[in-house]
């Protein structure tokens, strides 16, 4: 059996990251991957970069990492309202100042994708989607679209961040092969109504092993013709949100971003 911890969208929230990493260790999962967006919105983007680097955790490029790392002047984010755009501009300006050129160069050099294999199962790790860094693969995207993207990417399991909502979708791809999509949620800025830090555990093994490790996953099922199964368990971890909110206020981040941290 193989157990993989995925986390993403830390967004400068070092306290949430440390809580998630401690929980991963307590769960006994040794294989860890970060699906991007280390920086933005939170009060300690440099601390998050340093923590992930010091631990040698394989990491893919997020759209915010790209925006700051390449000094693009914006993060490639979607903002639905004028208030959100204003908050985003303030967040980017702070983060750009907080990340020095050496850290920016490290962010800019992150790979857009990582690939893993487990037997015949091909696993793709990326931030937005297999085709675009900032594409939102929301939970309601159609099976047809997701199957086509997986086929084009030569992947049986596609793991993404960016949407800040954890989910697991199982569907049928080309040649009637099972395809899985896994979203890692968000460590530092969830958008699902639960403000706790989120990480997901991917379990690949026999059906019995997967059932024992991810018993509440309705999307668990065969990942290849040999009977190998894949399941996902979502983990939530409490941390001191008030401490982070105080730090955000101290560095001058907008009150609306601080309030959003508490209500997720």
> Is pLDDT of 137 > 80?
yes
CATH of residue 129: 3.60.21.10
pLDDT of residue 224: 72
Residue 27: Cβ within 10 Å count: 14
What does the alpha-carbon distance between residue 141 and residue 171 come to, in Å, rounded to a whole number?
12
Taking the C-alpha atoms of residue 38 and residue 21, their distance in angstroms, rounded to an integer, is 14
Number of domains in the chain: 1
pTM: 0.96
Residue 113 structural domain: 2-263
Widest CA span of the chain, in angstroms?
55
Q: What is the DSSP letter of 169?
A: E
What is the structure's pLDDT at 225?
66
Question: Which residue did the predictor score with more confidence, 176 or 21?
Answer: 21
Structure confidence at residue 51 (pLDDT): 98
Mean pLDDT of the chain, nearest integer: 96
Instruction: Please check the confidence at residue 41 and state whether its pLDDT lies above 80.
Output: yes
pLDDT of amino acid 174: 83
Q: Which of 158, 134, 164 is nearest to 66 (CA)?
A: 134
Joined together, the tokens standing for residue 127 give 């931030």
Q: Convert the pLDDT of each residue in 208-240 to its tens digit.
A: 999 999 989 999 977 776 778 999 999 999 999
Query: How sure is the predictor about 205, in pLDDT bands with cuts at 50, 70 and 90?
Result: very high
Asked if residues 158 and 149 have their Cβ atoms less than 8 Å apart, the reply is: yes
pLDDT digits over 50-84, tens only? 999 999 999 999 999 999 999 999 999 989 999 99
pLDDT 10s digits, 145-194: 999 999 999 999 999 999 999 999 999 988 889 999 999 999 999 999 99
């Amino acid at each position: 059996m193989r157990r993989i911890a995925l986390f993403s969208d830390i967004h400068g929230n070092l306290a949430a990251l440390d809580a998630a990493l401690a929980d991963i260790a307590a769960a006994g999962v040794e294989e860890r991957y970060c699906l991007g967006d280390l920086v933005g919105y939170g009060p300690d983007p440099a601390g998050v970069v340093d923590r992930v680097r010091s631990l040698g955790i394989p990491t893919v490029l997020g759209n915010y990492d790209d925006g700051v790392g390449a000094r693009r002047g914006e993060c490639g984010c979607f903002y639905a309202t004028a208030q959100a755009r204003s908050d985003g501009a303030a967040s980017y300006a702070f983060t750009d100042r907080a990340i020095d050129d050496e850290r920016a160069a490290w962010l800019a050099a992150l790979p857009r994708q990582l690939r893993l294999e487990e037997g015949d199962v091909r696993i793709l790790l990326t931030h937005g989607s297999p085709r675009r860094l900032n594409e939102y693969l929301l939970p309601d995207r159609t099976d047809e679209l997701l199957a086509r993207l997986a086929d084009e990417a030569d992947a049986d399991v596609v793991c993404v961040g960016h949407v800040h909502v954890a989910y697991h979708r199982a569907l049928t791809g080309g040649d009637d092969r099972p395809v899985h999509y896994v979203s890692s949620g968000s460590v530092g800025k969830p958008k699902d109504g639960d403000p706790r830090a989120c990480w997901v555990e991917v379990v690949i093994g026999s059906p019995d092993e997967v059932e024992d490790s991810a018993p509440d996953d309705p999307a668990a099922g065969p990942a290849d013709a040999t009977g190998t199964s894949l399941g996902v368990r979502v983990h939530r971890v409490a941390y001191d949100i008030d401490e982070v909110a105080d730090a955000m206020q101290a560095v001058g981040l907008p009150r609306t971003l601080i309030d959003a941290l508490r209500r997720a």
